[in-house]
Amino acid sequence: MQAGRMIRESLEGRNITTPTYSVYDAFLSLKTVDWSLLCRQGLGVIRHMDLIGSRFPHLDIEEKIETSETHIKRTVFWKTDRGILHEYYLQDKNNPLLPWRMEYLIKNEQDYSILAYALSEGEFFLKQPEPKFPFPEDLSIPESSVYEIISLGRTPFQTLQIDYAGLERFFFDMALGCNPLFDLLEQLNDQLYKKITLSASQHTYQDFKLWENMSIDVIGPKIYQTHLVPVYQRIVKILAEKRKRLHVHYDGKTKLIVREIADSGIFGIDSFTSSPEGDLTVAEARQNWADTYLWIHPSLSLYEKSPESVTAFVKNAAEEAENKLYSFLVSEDVPPSVAKGLPEVLDALNNSYAKVV
């Protein structure tokens, strides 16, 4: 099966007769799963590509690595002539996923100004596309299994709260009307538009992703409407002028903002999760977003059930999606039982899907 071609065709709006199941490239370093075999059985791989390089004349980044028997600690120093910011990450040696951020760069109001200076006068340029998560050398993944998407990082609003300040600090400072925070947000939004304009000028890639990790119960509809919808609309406009599509990684609850999402012009919802993690069914999503692509992420708990249950979920979700503009993803984590359950599901989809439906 040429999973990459089938994903492309589904993105173009063709009717789906056999659902495509894919996995994020970041998970391929997990050694307990035979990814090469799964790809031969029909599993697709979403490969995220970096396209934009940057230089910041006022910033010097240094790292310090400390290793124990079980963990790797990485401390990062953002050095400027107006002050130094630092953060650190901790990674379990037995876990292939990204390390956890244990400390944020922003620790007080003054740090916003230091960060703004560090990221000021940035220069952005197109570079040779490169994988964000390179495939392990010992894996043999057919190119026909792969679909490539440009990784755009997050919007500045999400970057500040998730990566730079943390939820508590960020919303505390927003509530108090911290001017350096809002000044930095405006500065970073302007830079984002420049990067996306530059990205859209190339001709190879059609699909672009923001790693928003957004769940509306964290920020609320009013803040979403004020700080995110206008940014999405401008990005969509930039990309649409070059016939490109915008996807956003929303892996949580979205029921309170279905209209705002529709108004934003976003083409695809990446890692769309129904209950119990999310609060919309696939049918409700399709009812509200008739022309929105759904990258459906089945609940991790589903793989603890029988392969028949997983296949039944796929069948039901396909019907609710109206057999268009959707595919399935392993995108939040790799369930422990996926090595056994996913091959059986792929076999059912590839060889007997007509009987299943």
We report the CATH number of the domain holding residue 277 as 3.20.20.210
pLDDT tier at 99, thresholds 50, 70, 90 = confident
- Residue at 216 is within a domain: yes
Does position 135 have pLDDT exceeding 80, yes or no?
A: yes
Instruction: Determine what percent of the chain is predicted with pLDDT higher than 90.
Output: 72
Does position 58 have pLDDT exceeding 70, yes or no?
A: yes
- Residue at 78 is within a domain: yes
- Residue at 117 is within a domain: no
Last residue within a domain, chosen from 41, 70, 105: 105
Most confident of 7-21, 103-117, 131-145: 103-117
Does position 163 have pLDDT exceeding 90, yes or no?
A: yes
Task: Specify the pTM.
Answer: 0.92
Q: Which domain, by its residues, includes 86?
A: 58-105
**225 and 97: one domain?**
no
**312 and 274: one domain?**
yes
Average pLDDT taken over every residue of the chain: 91
* pLDDT at position 94: 80
* pLDDT at position 105: 98
- Location of structure tokens 């996926």: 338
* pLDDT at position 30: 85
Residue 82 is which amino acid? R
Q: Which long-range contacts (CB under 8 A, 24 or more apart) does 98-103 make?
A: 98/26, 99/72, 99/74, 101/163
Q: Are strands 245-249 and 83-92 parallel, antiparallel or unpaired?
A: unpaired
Residue 91 neighbours by CB under 8 Å, 6+ apart? 71, 72, 74, 98, 99, 100
**51 and 72: one domain?**
no
Helix axis angle, 307-320 relative to 338-356, nearest 10°? 50
pLDDT tier at 343, thresholds 50, 70, 90 = confident
* pLDDT at position 300: 77
Is 47:57 a contact under the CB 8 Å cutoff? no
**146 and 187: one domain?**
yes
- Residue at 113 is within a domain: no
**332 and 196: one domain?**
yes
- Other beta carbons within 10 angstroms of residue 276's beta carbon come to 8
Q: Provide the token pair at 341.
A: 């359950």
Does position 355 have pLDDT exceeding 50, yes or no?
A: no
Average pLDDT of the segment spanning 245-251: 96
**24 and 144: one domain?**
yes
**194 and 340: one domain?**
yes
Q: Which tops the pLDDT comparison, 299 or 245?
A: 245
Instruction: Determine what percent of the chain is predicted with pLDDT higher than 70.
Output: 97
Q: Provide the token pair at 136.
A: 């392990």
**190 and 68: one domain?**
no
**70 and 45: one domain?**
no
Rounded to the nearest 10 degrees, how much is the dihedral formed by the CA atoms of 325, 153, 207, 51?
Answer: -160
Average pLDDT of the segment spanning 20-30: 92
pLDDT tier at 357, thresholds 50, 70, 90 = very low
- Residue at 112 is within a domain: no
- Considering its fold, how many domains does the chain have in total? 2
**72 and 210: one domain?**
no
Most confident of 13-17, 80-84, 319-323: 80-84
Does position 284 have pLDDT exceeding 60, yes or no?
A: yes
- E strand spans, 99-206: 100-101, 123-131, 146-151
Helix axis angle, 179-200 relative to 167-175, nearest 10°? 120
Is 105:78 a contact under the CB 8 Å cutoff? yes
Distance CA 60, CA 118 (A): 8
Is 136:191 a contact under the CB 8 Å cutoff? no
